Structure 1
Amino acid sequence: MHILSNHFRSQKGSAIIFFTFCMTVVLGMCALVIDFGITVHEKVSISKAVDAAALAGAQELIFDKDNAVAVANSYLEANGVDPLDAEIEIFDSDTKIRVTVNSEVDYYFAKILGFDSGIVNATGVAMCGPVIGVYEGVRPFAIEKQTLEFGVEYILKEGGGGGHNGNYGALALSGNGASTYVNNIIDGYDGRLRVGDYVETEPGNMSGPTQQGVNTLISRCNHTPECTFSDYHSKCPRIITVIMVDNLQVNGRSNVRIEGFARFFLEEVTGHGNESIVTGRFLNTVMSGELGDIQDDFGLKGVKLIQ
């Protein structure tokens, strides 16, 4: 009887030891799973912050490269990342920016296994470069390629007597005729255009349609104070994209090659009869579009993540 009792006590003791061991393993696994989830969540959050900082810094490279690091740091801080955990590098002739963050993540349950914290790292690289493809919104005006200076007023469409062989800078982007031309001035061409493509000129002065379209577009700016080329709202309808072409000295309706794109602040349309002249001031700006390398840079830049 004593032998049987001792056997039961031995079995009970073994079961308690086995149960304790199993609970330790289960709790350890739960701790690892929970803290792993916390680490993954932190990794995703930091990656988003790093990407946003890199894009913001790349955009600033276009205007003030010396301020790009400060802008990137401000985006990190706004997204809950300590700038002291970041390393920011500008490279490749000041056209790219790399933001790297190494952040310590405190563990909660894994501490019972002797793990207090872990390191989460993320890197984002963004670049700025000339826009070689525009997806939408191009206005039906073309000027011959040239060196452009910020704030200088340029003629976007000539008046009577100022064109070449019946062409005054108007384009037929999605079909011929006054109605299509006016709609493209007001709303922009809704197709994709790229450097190297050919577009068709719209011969004739198109004076009435030009005045109608340009005045309608200008009237859509309802910002207070009124926008100017040096102080404007980023979404102002008077900020327009036009096409830079190789040559406008062509006869009648002809195809001209796209050399690039430029943005202007639409100033006004002047003149009467066949003397409708459209002017705008050149801007250095950023917009969405396809980036690439081109021989001539006309000041229109874009940014994108490359890592």
Structure 2
Amino acid sequence: MKLYNKEKYNDLGLDTKAPSSGYRALNKDGTFNVHKENVSFFEGMNIFHSLVSMSWLQFLLVLALGYFTINLVFASLYLLIGTEHLTGIYGTTKLDQFIEAFFFSAQTITTLGYGQIAPLNLAANIVAASESLLGLLLFALATGLMYGRFSKPVASIKYSSIAVIAPYKEINGFMFRVVNPKKNQLLEVEVNVNLSLKRANSDLRDFYSLELERSKVVFFPTMWTIVHPVSSESPIYGFNQQNLIEKEAEFIVVIKAFDESFSQSVYSRSSYKANEIKWGAKFTYLAKRDDTGLSIDVGRIDDTFEIDLNQ
């Protein structure tokens, strides 16, 4: 097995010491496998990031829950002041009065105001005025968050769930595929692939920047198979699948592109562990040409077929 003699990186910012066997530095979804301890709630809190990063379903549920909770609080305040200080309350039981106060709160916080119920004394007017002001601020905040979510540039690049070791020219190559499934156009797409290998008889690991067949494309309308030629200059030259597993190999991928829709640079990350690499397999060609142009079956991005490796 030939040792890689080019200069290696001691660290990518991911720490050279692997905490445990099978450790993965970068998750498949691009998040870092790092957990911070002894951080207070307020130190680690980033409400804006959480609200713009969570799924749309979670975000809408948070808005609905917040809206419902605020109306519950103000309905309770109106009930505490006394429903006799609100004109138009006709409920005879506490539950009926609470329900009417709840919907009055909903009308007040949205500044809708049907006019059926209105405050009569100073305390009720103060609560209603405060709720109206709070409603204006919260709806402005919710609108800003909605805009932030829509305008947040995201590189929605889809990666093949597996990588392959396949014949490449007279040698073999490490390959994986990426595609942009969205309709937005990505330009000047650059990819950087780094390899993490555990040192022999040590819990330390080294990082290598891998040379690629092509590290940049100007346009990205189709699939792109990214290839690292496993030449004599490669850090995995002479390796087999078991060697990669023993070395706890992790291929860390970072893609940078210019998103034409947002006129901003966007980034995408993913990684491949040794057990996510198929040896002696090649990706199936998925492009089809017809009278309308070129079509790509994105759903078959993982399709492969067996092939003999070059010796």
Shorter-normalised TM-score: what interval?
A: under 0.3
| TM-score, normalisation: structure 1 | 0.26
| TM-score, normalisation: structure 2 | 0.26
